[in-house]
Structure 1
Amino acid sequence: MAAYQRLGDLLDPASTVLLTVECQRGVVGPDAAQPELARAARSSGALGNVARLVAAAHRGGVQVIHAVAERRPDGRGASRNARLFRAAERLPVRQLSGSTAVRIAPPVEVAEEDLVVRRLHGLSPLGATGMDALLRNLGCRTLVVTGVSANVAIPNAVFDAVNLGYTAVVPADAIAGVPADYTAAMIRHTLSLVATITTTDELFGRLAPPRRGRPQ
């Protein structure tokens, strides 16, 4: 009960932002660049849970930000200082600006009031993307991190959030990586040390509290 109350204290709609990380067609869609990761996000239910949380945030008036990774067709400004970046250049599906691959993937819905933050370089959606300034201007204190991948972008986002002074909340069943047992181990042994770990069901009602019926 104490943990439940603590979670509730963190989730003031006025100071909470729900972040989706790389929930884009070219990453988690049916024709994704890395089919194994896309299958993990869908078969585990993580992508569906992200969609549920986004819908709840929309109903509850909680700000949603979608973080998208992309690159220019000419590659200008893109990072090349890690194997991951060089491998991405050879994938059959590339996350090119303006292409279908960088659109948010169903069933996650994008509302008019949502913000979409795009990055052309690096590993973190909070690293030199302008997101920190957006979060501060929104009055954010708690950042709920969802999406992919548990291998790279999610831990980067959580660490950056903590380093920047935000409280990070991670619904364990709304993130995915490969292999699945690595995701569970990373949550248990790493993210749990720096973030509040919860579930989609625990967050759902808090993001969108049930409406009270009219008195009889």
Structure 2
Amino acid sequence: MGVDARLMAQVDPATTVLLTVECQQGVVGPDGALPELAAAARESGALDNVARLVDAAHGSGVQVMHALAVRRPDGRGASRNARLFRAAERLPVQQVIGAPAAQVAVPIAVSEDDLVVRRLHGLSPLAGTDADALLRNLGCRTVVITGVSANVAIPNAVFDAVNAGYVAVVPEDAIAGVPAGYVPELVRHSLALVATVTRTDDVLACWEGPQQPTGSTAAGPAHG
């Protein structure tokens, strides 16, 4: 099977950022605060696929950005206006800045060229963080969105990326949520309406194979 020309244009390394969402030890690690989600991310192969995408991005010049959800030790500034936030305060593992739980999880490799965006509040890796300004400064047109969870942060990231004018690409086998059966329904009925839904191997084929010349074929508006 050949490389999808449309996808290759969208994920041009010169204008693409690979975003990993909450792929941190305290979320998807073996001793994390959310064992059901961690098990889903690992048993589905999603976490391994994120790691494969990160490795390919490092090798092909695609910028990688890791979006982490963290807390101050005193909890100052954290959101408390939803049941999810209040439940998080009671979890046995806290995503405290600098703690192992707040570090990118194995087997994902972190390069010194990667950008790490940490948020203290809210649900979205993009809204209310430095991510959008960084993406624009990088000349980004397409955001490849991976990680967890398909229940909350992933759809937030996709919708916010699209609202900000980026092309969103979602490798459906590189995201995870609970229950596992919910993920394909979310993809089919929500994400596919606004994002390019693909598979990890298809993105890897674009980044690891011969690259076509960059040009005006990339989808989506340019940022000025």
- The whole-number CA distance in structure 2 between the counterparts of 1:182 and 1:75 is 31
Indicate the residue corresponding to 1:31 in structure 2.
Answer: 31
Indicate the residue corresponding to 1:140 in structure 2.
Answer: 140
- The whole-number CA distance in structure 1 between the counterparts of 2:197 and 2:203 is 10
Indicate the residue corresponding to 2:127 in structure 1.
Answer: 127
The runs of 4+ residues in structure 1 deviating greater than 6 Å are none
Indicate the residue corresponding to 2:61 in structure 1.
Answer: 61
Indicate the residue corresponding to 1:172 in structure 2.
Answer: 172
CA contact (8 A) 1:60 1:209 kept: no
**Which amino acid in the other structure matches residue 98 of structure 2?**
G
Verify: 1:10 aligned to 2:7, yes or no: no
Indicate the residue corresponding to 1:214 in structure 2.
Answer: none
Q: Which runs of 5+ in 1 are unaligned?
A: 212-216
- The whole-number CA distance in structure 1 between the counterparts of 2:31 and 2:22 is 14
| Partner SS for 1:81 | coil
- The whole-number CA distance in structure 1 between the counterparts of 2:163 and 2:141 is 13
CA contact (8 A) 1:53 1:207 kept: no
Matched residues, number: 211
**Which amino acid in the other structure matches residue 191 of structure 1?**
L
| Partner SS for 1:180 | coil
| Deviation (angstroms), 1:11 | 1.3
| Deviation (angstroms), 1:205 | 2.1
| Deviation (angstroms), 1:210 | 5.8
Identity %: 71
| Partner SS for 1:143 | strand
**Which amino acid in the other structure matches residue 69 of structure 2?**
A
- Map 1:36-185 to 2 at 5 A: 36-185=36-185
- The whole-number CA distance in structure 1 between the counterparts of 2:11 and 2:86 is 39
| Deviation (angstroms), 1:3 | 9.3
Indicate the residue corresponding to 2:222 in structure 1.
Answer: none
**Which amino acid in the other structure matches residue 63 of structure 1?**
Q
Q: Which runs of 5+ in 2 are unaligned?
A: 212-224
- The whole-number CA distance in structure 2 between the counterparts of 1:94 and 1:185 is 30
TM-score relative to the length of structure 1: 0.95
